[in-house]
Structure 1
Amino acid sequence: MLLEHLPTPVALIDRKRLERNVAQMQARARAQGVALRPHIKTHKSIHLAQLQQAQGAQGLTVATLEEAEAFVAAGFSDVRLAYPTVGLDRYQRVRALMARARVSFCLDTPEAIRQASDFFAAQEVRAEVLLEVDTGQGRTGVRWDDAHRLQLCARLVQESPGLKLIGLLTHAGHAYQGPLAGETPREALCRVAAEERDRLLAAAVVLQQAGLARPDAFELSIGATPTAHVFENRTQRGFRITEIRPGNYVFHDAMQVALGSCTLEDCALTVLARVVSRKPDGRGGWWLFLDAGKKALSTDQGYGTQGYGVLLYHPARRVPLPHATLEQLSEEHGWVHFRGGATLQVGDRVQVIPNHACLVAPLLRRFFVIEGDEVQAEWPVIGH
């Protein structure tokens, strides 16, 4: 099928860029002596996860039990929930999955640890748990420098009959905040990557000093696409980072470009949209309206982004459309402002690199894999 025959809006994956991104991150993991456990919330695609596994990925990271269930059903045997897993309903589903695959999950509070232990002890099994550590994002997790609480939670897991403490896990989400004053984007990535690594290693040493962790039997898991690109492993008191969990790297997006993780040339995912209307703006420019709005592109913005995506003039070479900004979104419309004459006409198609690629999968629910103008495959998103 030719690209021009596709409906709009749809999500397109450039196969060559995708395969290059997957191979490059796998090579980085190999060079740093860590397992690559990719986060599949970015794509939610069985086909893409199989490609990652074929390249050497060891296990998968998921955000939800729906993802875990779908990928275990598809034959994946090692799934990690990088999310505080709380509630009887969730524990029942984890227990069912444990009969078919290795499943591990995160906890970060004494209350959740006790609840999980009560459930799994009653089932006469021990669930594998990682203690989540906050290394700077300020979201979930025990603060990396709170030695008392780190030891309290780790000891509570170890002493809980239904749980087994297998390691520590963190996510350097603060990498998405961009540079501090006087920093370049690259310097910011290197700073946050070092914080993520060193603070997790320091937390492991705190547990080691309390007799709660041994370097030869403890997983240290970090994860964020921006920091993964500059990650360099190191040893502290025998501990090393054992795995990385980037997700967005398979596609990249406008946010990653702004952060310095990649260039537009690396962006494998675009949204194909169509011009459905146009009108002069009264100031010598034009408004053009696309059939891709919030329900295709999301409303995410981040450091260094302008508008809600990058419109491409030459998609094959990832050349941006000059003088055009995707300034507004309504549910089904993208509002493109041209400063001067508009090169696009009603009915024309345009590809947009989204600000945040991880939201496209649940919004558009399938991917069309392309090479040039040829559609080679259609990959559904789980649940659709």
Structure 2
Amino acid sequence: MTAAASALIPPLGDPAAFVLDETVKGMPPGVAPFPIGAIGEKGWNLLAEDLPLPLAVLKRSALDHNLDWMARFVGDAGAVLAPHGKTTMAPGLFREQVEHGAWAITVGTIHQAIVARRNGVRRVLLANQLIGRQAVRGALDMLRQDPGFELLALVDSVASVELLAKAAAADPIGRPLPLLLEMGYAGGRTGCRNAETALAVARAVKAAEPYLELRGVEGFEGLVAGKTIEECADQVHAFLRRMVAMAAATEAGGLFADGPIILSAGGSAFYDIVVDRFRRAGLHREVLLVSRSGCYVSHDSLMYRDFFAAVRGRAPLVDRLGPGLRPAMEVWAYVQSRPEPGKVILTMGQRDVGVTGGLPQAQSWYRPGADGAPGELGPEHAVTGLNDQHCHMTVPVGSPLQVGDLVGFGVSHPCVTFDKWQVLPVVDDAYQVVGAYRTFF
């Protein structure tokens, strides 16, 4: 980047320098301002009540395991990883994912792309249509000002191609804007619904050279509908076959730009099916298989846990990689009331934990001042609902829980819990705070 460009787009600075104080959710009252990078020096421990609850934390051992596991999975599968950064919006985790070999970071908006780039990510996959004057201008500006930065976006209509081509021709960046042809399915989100539309879009991109170029075919299989995981998997197979057929037709028409043909899909449920099908694409040119699983880094205690069990059943490769993904995220709360023999109320609500993948699951409990590790809670301790700041949980009449006890919950679909927290402390297995991540939602 030139000096002038650097002045126009300053870096965000050292992420460890972000200042925390008592106004940041999860920090103790009265704490003097300090840089986030120094949080591990505080000597804080969650079980010692050094931090107020509710509190979402990430376990260091599980994060390290998951980062290593997925790097080995995609490497053995002959693919590369472009994990969904929008899952965490935590540049500290982006950095660790890149250090573990991630080819790119995937985002969903221009804001997320800017955050990734300003935090040192050199290749971003915008898995969405690049639409609107400000978003298009922002993308073109980043590419113009930073020749070493790559940004790929999606197209699924001739109208979208024409808008991008007009903008790029009016304000040239000195290189083509790389695009991926997005395939979709009935009832899904964006993406071409049939081959005729897709070929028309690909031809429109070809006609817009040298301002645009087509680098590959993309799709998102994560929202296919089925009554069972097996039914969903069958539909994923069918969708991927359509993607591969479209890539073959586009290649036969000479519509791709030079270089490897990118085939990209992969949410956090069917990434094994994706890499297996793309590996057998049968194209004539070199193919770059890009998986985009994002939730693997934190995993979860419900939805993706069940999906991973299905992955293990489908893919023998998984067993060769040893113990599978582990849930890294927990949300802790106090028992604040036991108004009925079979019910407790806890200090956690929808402002603290997401519910789109299912209600949080009580897993462990701890009485302040006790010796030893937290005890386990069985399924008879069941969350039945959440208000803004309260959690309703049914318990057995003989439950040991008392007012003032700490309860740790596993979450489902971690994306919608990450976005509740500006800062997430990282803890070791004894719940000693060893670090923290800042998020940019």
What amino acid does structure 1 have at the position aligned with 2:81?
L
Q: 1:45 offset after TM fit, Å?
A: 1.1
Q: 1:94 offset after TM fit, Å?
A: 0.8
1:41-60 alignment runs, 5 A limit: 41-60=86-105
Correspondent of 2:181 among 131, 136, 142: 131
Distance 1:119 1:30, change over 3 A: same
Q: Which residue in 1 is equivalent to 2:237? A: 194
Correspondent of 1:278 among 317, 322, 338: 338
Q: Identity across aligned pairs (percent)? A: 24
1:289-300 alignment runs, 5 A limit: 289-300=345-356
Q: Which residue in 2 is equivalent to 1:310? A: 361
For residues 110-136 of structure 1, the C-alpha deviation after alignment (integer angstroms, 9 at most, x for no partner) is 221111111111112331111111157
Correspondent of 1:228 among 271, 274, 283: 271
Larger Rg: 2
Distance 1:71 1:237, change over 3 A: closer
Q: Which runs of 5+ in 1 are unaligned?
A: none
Correspondent of 1:288 among 339, 344, 357: 344
For residues 181-214 of structure 1, the C-alpha deviation after alignment (integer angstroms, 9 at most, x for no partner) is xxxx4x4575355345433211201222333248
Distance 1:65 1:242, change over 3 A: same
The answer to whether the aligner puts 1:77 opposite 2:125 as a matched pair is: no
Helix, strand or coil: the match of 2:280?
coil
Q: Which residue in 2 is equivalent to 1:157? A: 205
Correspondent of 1:242 among 268, 280, 289: 289
For residues 73-104 of structure 1, the C-alpha deviation after alignment (integer angstroms, 9 at most, x for no partner) is 11111111111121111111111221222111
What amino acid does structure 1 have at the position aligned with 2:434?
Q
Distance 1:320 1:117, change over 3 A: farther
What amino acid does structure 1 have at the position aligned with 2:364?
Y
CA distance in 1, matches of 2:170, 2:57: 47
Helix, strand or coil: the match of 1:174?
coil
The answer to whether the aligner puts 1:381 opposite 2:439 as a matched pair is: yes
For residues 337-377 of structure 1, the C-alpha deviation after alignment (integer angstroms, 9 at most, x for no partner) is 12433322112111111122011121122211111221100
For residues 48-67 of structure 1, the C-alpha deviation after alignment (integer angstroms, 9 at most, x for no partner) is 11111111111111112221
Equivalent residues of 2:351, 2:389 under 8 A apart: yes
Q: Which runs of 5+ in 2 are unaligned?
A: 1-43, 312-322, 367-372
What amino acid does structure 2 have at the position aligned with 1:169?
E
Q: 1:147 offset after TM fit, Å?
A: 1.5
Equivalent residues of 2:348, 2:389 under 8 A apart: yes
**Alignment TM-score, normalising by the size of structure 2:** 0.77
CA distance in 2, matches of 1:264, 1:237: 32
Equivalent residues of 1:150, 1:203 under 8 A apart: yes
**Alignment TM-score, normalising by the size of structure 1:** 0.87
1:348-359 alignment runs, 5 A limit: 348-359=405-416
For residues 26-72 of structure 1, the C-alpha deviation after alignment (integer angstroms, 9 at most, x for no partner) is 11111111111111111111111111111111111111222111121
Corresponding pairs, count: 366
Q: Which residue in 2 is equivalent to 1:217? A: 260
Helix, strand or coil: the match of 1:347?
coil
For residues 198-250 of structure 1, the C-alpha deviation after alignment (integer angstroms, 9 at most, x for no partner) is 33211201222333248953211112111124542323233656210110011
CA distance in 2, matches of 1:327, 1:178: 25
Q: Which residue in 2 is equivalent to 1:142? A: 192
Q: Which residue in 1 is equivalent to 2:133? A: 88
Q: 1:317 offset after TM fit, Å?
A: 9.5
Equivalent residues of 1:192, 1:227 under 8 A apart: no
CA distance in 2, matches of 1:21, 1:193: 24
The answer to whether the aligner puts 1:206 opposite 2:249 as a matched pair is: yes
